[in-house]
Structure 1
Amino acid sequence: MSKVMDQATAKRLLSEGAFFIFLEVPEGTEFGIDMKSWNTGEKFRGVKMIPPGLHYIFYSSVSATDDIAPRIGFFHNFKRGEVLVKKWDKKTEQISAEPVKESEVVNLKENLVALDGFLGPYPYDILDKWVSLCSDITDDLLKKLMPESGQVSAALQLQSCSDADRPKGIKIGASDANQPSCSSTKKHRLSESAENDLLPVLKPLKGTDLRVTPFPQRKYPEGSTPAEITQHSLDATYILETLLAQYSNPTEIIGELEFCFICFLVGHSLEAFDQWKKFVTLLCSCDAAITKHRKLFDMFVSLLEIHIKEIPEEFLADIVSNNNFVYMNLKKLFRTIHSSNVDGQLKTKVDRFKNALTSTYMWDFDHLDSEEEDEAPVIVEM
């Protein structure tokens, strides 16, 4: 049910709300803020009554034949009464990289009343949901994660990768053809390698890719014994601790999880979706960390409950059918929390979450103590 804005709230937002003025936008352009989008009309000049706080503005150019370009967006933390002005660039069909002249901004601020009829009101009915999706994204974290370009693009811009930039051990034109072959399987691998050498090697255009926190290449500490490697394959706490060391506060990982989800859900970034999946898999695979970082996992369960509700059903169905990604990870998380020494409050929250998923999606979480065949651990022997 849509949330109706009461008169008191309307008056407050009129006096406190921010403005986003978007000049020279072609009619029919797809434009949106947070989780609502529209196609612009002839009179469109922007949005008014934007509640102070973090918001995500996005757009897609639309051709004369109704072809929609990949979505581009950016975050902005609006201050009370702020007026943010941007201009459309006809050549690039994007927001202009050139800042709007200060004199023009001042003139627009002085004539907001005359501009009022050209500004659409912020869709207040989505505010509570939006705040729940981004409440842990701080300004410092945003600066760390955003592309240097300042914009998130659904279509990652790529450029040719030089030989020096290729992964170590791989060179253009190199193959294993001069190595001895001992099986047809190896010959097949060599053939694939030779074919791959003929393909162009691409990397993200500098400044356009998300600067998400890198995962460690090794899943266990250097010098680990085979038994320790086995233990780290069963419990990903080492990876989590390695990641947490890169934040100023452990709960910033929740902020990055929110950032990735918004860039995926609203910004259509598959790059962000990949990072979101890695975070979900990791946080559902830690045993020892749950009691040590109890607050972190409490926040994670609450956020995951929100995220699953917001993923489009057809997309969620695809995720589930794809090796049961969400379902299998939740089984591991629920099993670990129920067998851990954490307090009853967190266990009760998990039970409520589990029952809601069973009711909505018919996911079976009975017999959590039994392991699926593909969950069986990989044992490293000496």
Structure 2
Amino acid sequence: MSSSFKSSRADMAASGCVDMDPDVARRLFEEGATLVLLDVPRGTELGIDCKSWQVGPRFKGVKMIPPGLHFLHFCSTNSPSCGGETGPKSGLFLTLKPRQILLARWDPKEEDLDFSASENEEHLERIRGALRELDPHLGPYPYEVMRKWVALTDHIGQEMAENLQPLSGRVRAFSDVIPELQLTHTKDRAEQPRNDTACQSMREGLDRLPKMKQREGTELRFSVLPERTYPPGASPAEITRCSMDLSYALETVLEQNYPEQPLNLLGELQFAFVCFLLGNAYEGFEHWKSLLAVLCRSEEAMRKRKELYLGLITVLYHQLGEVPPDFFVDIVSQNNFLTSTLQDFFQFASGPGMDSTLRKKAEKFKAHLTKKFRWDFEADLDDCAPVVVELPEGVAMD
């Protein structure tokens, strides 16, 4: 999904910063962190935050990186003689300090960056002493995407990123899966039941395949959303009410994961979105979709948690403003997920007892989305795709 942010092919080793304010450039040069990335093969697609490049022969890292949270992502590319195909993407969240130097070498066997050299202080000091020689080979941080990146991640702190990131330290586009039943010996495999007859259906063929599971330590560690949206011992009437208003499910998630800081749930929503948008991890999209559905369909919680929902609108405004043009056509608009979810949200936001500030902000957001994507949230979305409507000029999101 990061292709929309990808720049044209570049060496990414120029020492200048195009169109950057001189004072900002000087401050970043003095206070910015440096990623020294050695032996990265030419042609590798590598990016930081919302921009990526194809690495040139002189590339040895990125300099002038603003302190704070960043997402480094990369994928290897075969040589032109092998077709020049790009492999699956990997990424990791980094929290960098002022003037910090982080060192990694490319591991050709794993097709990954090995940061173990950063644990050697003596080695880092040698790198620090050689920065002047390295400088022409370090590409400047793409400062033009900094505002965009901050808007997409302003609720994510270092601790949250560490807690949600896989234990393996990598966000991967494709899940690392292994068979549920480990058969390491020929004798074990021979004892498994066999069926040598031809499959009569696709379902039968799938049933014969080994059952797979995600390798432990490689999964994103999101909050677990409750399968049951109503409290234990609920009456039929309560079950119906809690199925239409998911506030009980939302409060359960907040109590279990963010009891003291409920706004941190927005950070998890942002984390899931970045993992999908920039890391191509579909697991991130699935959680973003599920978490958004719970938030948007919790009417009672909207009345109680004004700040959470004011923040949600801002988060969604920035997220939906940065996705590629075909994002909704290919994925989000399947089964009208986003339009139907937001339709419920806007209906609740305009209901009785809602805070007037929240109601007005929701109305502006609704008008903004209607104009930007030409969705009609007043239509019945059960049997049709998003309806295109014509709006007069001048309707915009403040």
For normalisation by structure 1, the TM-score amounts to 0.86
RMSD of equivalent CA atoms: 2.1
Match for 2:77: what amino acid? V
Deviates more, 1:315-324 or 1:198-207: 315-324
CA pair 192-70 structure 1, distance change in 2 beyond 3 A: closer
Write the distance in 1 (CA, Å) between the matches of 2:116 and 2:25: 34
Which residue in the other structure is 1:271 paired with?
Answer: 283
The answer as to 2:28 corresponding to 1:13 is yes
Unaligned runs of 5+ in 2: 1-16, 183-191, 194-200, 385-398
Which residue in the other structure is 1:179 paired with?
Answer: none
Pick one of 294, 305, 318 that aligns with 2:306: 294
Matches within 5 A, 1:180-329: 197-248=207-258, 249-319=261-331, 321-329=333-341
CA contact (8 A) 1:3 1:125 kept: no
CA contact (8 A) 1:319 1:326 kept: no
Q: Which whole-Å deviations, capped at 9, do the CAs of 1:132-181 have from their partners, x for residues lacking one?
A: 11111112212211100111111110001139xxxxxxxx98xxxxxxxx
Write the distance in 2 (CA, Å) between the matches of 1:285 and 1:51: 37
Name the SS of the counterpart of 1:317 in structure 2. helix
Quote the offset at 1:342 in angstroms: 2.4
The answer as to 2:77 corresponding to 1:62 is yes
CA pair 3-224 structure 1, distance change in 2 beyond 3 A: farther
- How many residues in Structure 1 have an aligned counterpart in Structure 2? 346
Which residue in the other structure is 1:363 paired with?
Answer: 375
Deviates more, 1:221-230 or 1:244-253: 244-253
Q: Which whole-Å deviations, capped at 9, do the CAs of 1:3-50 have from their partners, x for residues lacking one?
A: 931111111111011101101111111110001111111110000000
Write the distance in 1 (CA, Å) between the matches of 2:331 and 2:294: 17
Pick one of 168, 172, 177 that aligns with 1:149: 168
Which residue in the other structure is 1:78 paired with?
Answer: 96
CA contact (8 A) 1:319 1:325 kept: no
Write the distance in 2 (CA, Å) between the matches of 1:110 and 1:99: 16
For normalisation by structure 2, the TM-score amounts to 0.82
Write the distance in 1 (CA, Å) between the matches of 2:157 and 2:147: 18
Quote the offset at 1:372 in angstroms: 5.2
Write the distance in 2 (CA, Å) between the matches of 1:15 and 1:361: 43
Match for 1:286: what amino acid? S
Identity value in percent: 38
Quote the offset at 1:245 in angstroms: 1.2
Quote the offset at 1:280 in angstroms: 1.2
Which residue in the other structure is 2:57 paired with?
Answer: 42
CA pair 320-85 structure 1, distance change in 2 beyond 3 A: closer
Deviates more, 1:206-215 or 1:2-11: 2-11
Write the distance in 2 (CA, Å) between the matches of 1:325 and 1:336: 17
Pick one of 347, 371, 386 that aligns with 1:335: 347
CA contact (8 A) 1:291 1:340 kept: no
Matches within 5 A, 1:115-126: 115-126=134-145
Match for 2:149: what amino acid? W
Unaligned runs of 5+ in 1: 164-171, 174-190, 376-382
Write the distance in 1 (CA, Å) between the matches of 2:296 and 2:92: 30
Match for 2:356: what amino acid? G
Q: Which whole-Å deviations, capped at 9, do the CAs of 1:87-124 have from their partners, x for residues lacking one?
A: 11111111126434433221111111111100000000
Name the SS of the counterpart of 1:246 in structure 2. helix
Which residue in the other structure is 1:24 paired with?
Answer: 39
Write the distance in 2 (CA, Å) between the matches of 1:361 and 1:67: 33
Matches within 5 A, 1:79-158: 79-96=97-114, 98-100=116-118, 101-158=120-177
